[in-house]
Structure 1
Amino acid sequence: MLPLKVEVPPNPILRVQHDISRWDIRLIPEGLHIYVHRPGYTHHGIYIGDGKVIHFVGPKAGPTRACKKCGFSRNTGHGVVETCLECFLDGGSLCRYNYNVPRVRLLITFHTMCPNCTTTERLESGREIVATAKEKLKEGFGKYNLLSNNCEHFATFCSTGTAFCQQVKYTAELAAFPVLPRPVGLLMFYRDLI
Structure 2
Amino acid sequence: MVVTGEEGDDTRVFNQGIISEWFNQREDYGAFLRLVRVGDRLEMKRDKYCHWGIYMGEQILDIDDQLVVLPCIGHRANPTDNPEKMGGFSASSRSMSKGAFGIGDVCLEPLREVWGRSLLRINNSMDNTVTPFPSRIVVERVMKVVNGEDRHSFTAYNVVTNNCEHFASWSRNSWALSHQVYSASEQILKLSMLAVSVLLPRPLAVAGGICITGIQMLKEIRRV
Q: Same fold by TM (over 0.5)?
A: yes
Which of residues 52, 55, 72 is equivalent to 2:72? 52
Change (3 A) 1:40 1:154: same
Could you tell me how far 1:59 is from its partner in structure 2?
4.3
Which of residues 78, 85, 88 is equivalent to 2:114? 88
Partner deviation per Cα, 1:3-53 (whole Å, 9 max, x = no partner)? xxxxxxxxxxxx953424543414410010001011221100000012200
Contact 1:99 1:122 in 2 (8 A): no
Could you tell me how far 1:133 is from its partner in structure 2?
0.6
Distance 1:151 1:141 in 2: 14
Counterpart position of 2:219 = none
Q: Give the % identical residues.
A: 25
Which of residues 132, 138, 150 is equivalent to 1:129? 138
Counterpart position of 2:190 = 177
Q: Which has the higher strand share?
A: 2
Q: Does 1:98 align with 2:106?
A: no
Distance 1:95 1:74 in 2: 23
Contact 1:20 1:96 in 2 (8 A): no
Show structure 2 runs of 5+ residues with no match. 1-17, 59-70, 85-91, 192-224
Between the two structures, name the one with larger relative contact order (CA 8 Å, sep ≥ 6).
1
Q: Does 1:39 align with 2:50?
A: no
> Where do 1:7-18 residues align within 5 Å?
16-18=19-21
Contact 2:36 2:122 in 1 (8 A): no
Could you tell me how far 1:93 is from its partner in structure 2?
1.5
Counterpart position of 1:3 = none
Could you tell me how far 1:142 is from its partner in structure 2?
0.9
Quick one: which amino acid aligns to residue 72 of structure 1?
A: R
Could you tell me how far 1:72 is from its partner in structure 2?
2.5
Could you tell me how far 1:151 is from its partner in structure 2?
0.4
- Number of residue pairs aligned between Structure 1 and Structure 2: 142
Which of residues 72, 75, 79 is equivalent to 2:94? 72
Distance 1:154 1:136 in 2: 10
Quick one: which amino acid aligns to residue 86 of structure 1?
A: R
Distance 1:24 1:63 in 2: 23
Could you tell me how far 1:135 is from its partner in structure 2?
0.8
Contact 1:18 1:98 in 2 (8 A): no
SS in 1 for 2:119: coil
Q: Which has the higher helix share?
A: 2
TM-score (norm 2): 0.55
Distance 2:47 2:76 in 1: 17
Show structure 1 runs of 5+ residues with no match. 1-14, 65-69, 102-118, 179-194
Contact 1:19 1:94 in 2 (8 A): yes
Which of residues 28, 38, 44 is equivalent to 1:30? 38
Q: Does 1:145 align with 2:158?
A: yes
Distance 2:75 2:126 in 1: 22
Distance 1:25 1:16 in 2: 15
